[in-house]
Structure 1
Amino acid sequence: MIRGCEVARPKPWEVDDELWAVIEPLLPKVERRTRHPGRKRHPDRLVFQGILFVLHTGISWEHLPQELGFGSGMTCWRRLAEWIEAGVWPRLHEVLLAELRSANALDFSRAAVDGSHIRALKGGAKNGRSPVDRGRTGSKHHLITDATGIPLAATLTGGNRNDVTQLIPLLQAVPPVRGKRGRPRRRPDVVLGDRGYDHDKYRRLVWDLGVKPLIARRGTEHGSGLGTQRWVVERAFAHLHWFRRLRIRWETRDDIHEAFLTLGCALICWRRLKSLR
């Protein structure tokens, strides 16, 4: 062993060949014009790494380091918006969920739901006065995970929206997950929620979807036992908010922030897949 020599660790925004092999087929193909082609389009892989750099560091687009070769911040922002229009991020998440199911790493026996407030400093759609932040403008991330904490779907609302209003949208947002023979799996057997989801109307709606609701009752003593299974969604939020761009909402456009949210879910899935290999 040679002392003083360290193996350089890859940066979290660097895209390895395995991940790029998953992403590249999902990106829209843009043919260069034969007449008046203009400036050559910056490579998709480098632009994607620039988007990941913003997601990981929380840096503003205009301060994206040019020396790293990602292209300008405006180039990365425009490409992100272009890929949103093409539906790239939900498809990427769906593909990775299918690979997890194929590897027997996805557990639909139960799911857990929760919500988390974030500051929203520039306004825009899906904002509201947050009751947990002195009435400041904020947004809310809503998340549903499988029994092991893998994100199945996420939604964005204003900070004044009650968690229970997103229970059905979250269940409906879970994509049809392939990866095994037979019909795709979309619904968990059971959904777990804390007291914020305690409403008989929504329990009936959950039953109508073919899912059993296990939701803590208001006014009862703590110690229902659900916390021993629900903690996985709280851990998933910790993993999501490790991406600095998701800790505070800087985007006026809600679809841009939702793209970061879905991409964060997909990257958590990718990490789980890598850990299985």
Structure 2
Amino acid sequence: MAVPWIVSDELWGRIEPLLPVRPASRTGPTPLPDRRVLQGVLFVLYRGIGWEDLPQELGFGSGMTCWRRLRDWQACGVFDRLQAVLLAELNAAGQIDWSRAIADSSHVRAIKGGLQTGPSPVYRGTTGSKHHVITDGGGIPLATMLTGGNRTDITQLLPLIEAIPPVRGRRGRPRRKPNALVADCGYDHNTYRAHLRQRGLQPFISQRKTRDTNQAVRWVVEQTLALLHQFRRRAIRWERRADIHHGFLALATSLICWRRLPNAIC
């Protein structure tokens, strides 16, 4: 069984061109290779441990080294560009279902507070954050967003749609708009239905206090959220800094896209 935090040659071949070039240092020790440090970041992401608990004998460097690289890579938009690359490959392989997109969100507790947190109704007002996800018709994540736990789903619907990147991979102009939008009753509002129609999306949003007729197609986004929760460091927010937590979220989202590629080696 493959060790999940070991980066395969195939995956590294997609990540390496996106990483910023590190200037050569004339003094001091030679910096650890990016690939080895990335595996340290993945170890923390998969195992859910603290940075200070990263085992030194694995050769991934110190937890602080991995933290700094994750910070720098997130600031450069490495993982967002990685997801765009993988989405283009999925689109070229005919794996993206543009007939509809499905939106949903999940709460995570924020143990230490920080930016983009708020009182979460799921955890009786304790501080938390929300992960907003929009997927294609088959559950491939197209975009994610991080907000405070007190933000309602419907206020993030249009920003979430706008966050879908232009997806290349086929002849013609890049595509970034599905044909329809499916969501649960948390997005129920006629004003937003009108906004979706103006953008060329047919809304299929369940109404409150009625039977949810969209459950048969909405399960794929719930499955994607469950896959994100399998990355233990992302299931609970330990970081005060929103950029570090969002870096974990973007990296986990890219890995889910990678697994959906035909013949992908994890």
TM-score, normalized by length of structure 2? Answer: 0.97
1:161 aligns with 2:151: yes
**TM-superposed deviation, 1:37:** 2.7
2:258, 2:264 within 8 Å by CA — same for their partners in 1?
no
- CA displacement, residues 189-245 of structure 1 (integer Å, 9 cap, x when unaligned): 00001000001111122222221111011122x152x11111000000011100001
Distance 1:208 1:257 in 2: 34
Larger Rg: 1
- Matching of residue 40 in structure 1 with residue 30 in structure 2: yes
Deviation for aligned residue 1:275: 4.8
Shift of 1:175: 0.3
Task: Tell me: CA distance 1:196–1:275, structure 2 relative to 1, closer, same or farther (3 Å).
Answer: farther
The residue aligned with 1:256 is: 244
Give, as a single letter, the amino acid of the residue that structure 1 aligns with 2:157: L
Residues 156-235 of structure 1: pairs in structure 2 closer than 5 A: 156-220=146-210, 222-224=211-213, 226-235=214-223
Provide structure 1 residue ranges, at least 5 long, that are not aligned to the other structure: 1-8
CA distance in 2 between partners of 1:232 and 1:120 (Å): 26
SS at match of 1:156: strand
- Pairwise mapping of residues 43-54 of structure 1 onto structure 2 (< 5 A)? 43-54=33-44
Please name the residue that 2:3 is paired with. 11
- Post-superposition offset of 1:274: 4.4
Letter in 2 for 1:245: R
Percent identity reads 58
Please identify runs of 4+ aligned residues in structure 1 that moved more than 3 A.
274-277
Distance 1:151 1:78 in 2: 26
1:128 aligns with 2:118: yes
Q: Which of 94, 100, 105 is the aligned partner of 1:104?
A: 94
Partner of residue 254, structure 2? 266
**Cα deviation digits, residues 81-117 of structure 1 (max 9, x gap):** 1111211010001000000001100111101000111
Quick one: distance in 1 between partners of 2:98 and 2:148?
Answer: 29
Partner residue, 2:14: 22
| Whole-angstrom CA distance in 1 between matches of 2:212 and 2:14 | 43
Q: Is the partner of 1:75 in helix, strand or coil?
A: helix
Note the alpha carbon deviations across 1:17-55, whole angstroms, 9 max, x for none. 00000000000111214xx43211111000000010011
Give me the whole-angstrom Cα distance separating, in 2, the residues matched to 1:131 and 1:10.
39
After superposition, the Cα gap between the structure-2 partners of 1:274 and 1:244, relative to the gap in structure 1 and judged at 3 Å, is farther
Change in CA separation of 1:172 and 1:71 when aligned onto 2, cut-off 3 Å: same
Q: Is the 8 A contact 2:84 2:167 kept in 1?
A: yes
| Equivalence for 2:79 | 89
**2:60 corresponds to which residue?**
70
What amino acid is aligned across from residue 22 of structure 1 in structure 2?
R
Gaps of 5+ in 2: none
Are 1:113 and 2:103 an aligned pair?
yes
The match for 1:5 is: none
Residue of structure 2 in register with 1:6 after alignment: none
Query: How many residue pairs get matched?
Result: 265
Tell me the SS of whatever aligns to 1:249: coil
SS in 2 for 1:132: helix
Q: Which amino acid aligns with 2:2?
A: P
Inter-partner Cα distance in structure 2 for 1:227 and 1:147:
13
